[in-house]
Amino acid sequence: MAIEDGERVAETGVRVDGVSKQYRSEGSPVQALRNVTFDVTKGEFVCLVGPSGSGKTTLFRIIAGLEEPTKGMVFLGDAPVKEPGTNMGVVFQEYHLFPWRTVRGNIAFGLEKQGTPADERTERVDRLLELIGLEEFADSYPNQLSGGMKQRVGIARALAIDPGLLLMDEPFGAVDAQTRRMLQDELLEIWQETKKTVLFVTHDVEEAVRLADRIVVMSSEPGAVRETVTVDLPRPRSRSDPGFGEYYEQVLDLIRE
Which among 37-45, 49-57, 175-183, 236-244 is the span making contact with Mg ion, rule CB under 5 A?
Answer: 49-57
CB 19 → ligand ADP: shortest distance, Å? 12
Can residue 58 be called a binding residue for Mg ion (CB under 5 A)?
no
Among ligand ADP, Mg ion, none, the one that 180 touches (CB under a kind-dependent 5 to 8 A) is none
CB 218 → ligand ADP: shortest distance, Å? 7
Q: At what angle do helices 147-160 and 103-114 cross, to 10 degrees?
A: 20
Please report, as a single letter, which amino acid is at residue 149.
M
CB 110 → ligand ADP: shortest distance, Å? 25
- Which of 136, 256 has the CB closer to ligand ADP? 256
How far is it, in rounded angstroms, from Cα 221 to Cα 209?
24
Give the residues lining the site for ligand ADP (CB under 6 A): 23, 25, 30, 32, 50, 52-58, 223
For residue 167, give the H/E element and its range: strand 165-169
Q: How many residues bind Mg ion (CB under 5 A)?
A: 2
Q: Residue 200 to residues 9, 29, 243: CA-CA distances in angstroms?
A: 18, 28, 22
- Of 164, 171, 162, nearest to 110 by C-alpha is 162
CB 257 → ligand ADP: shortest distance, Å? 16
Cβ distance 54 to 44 under 8 Å?
no
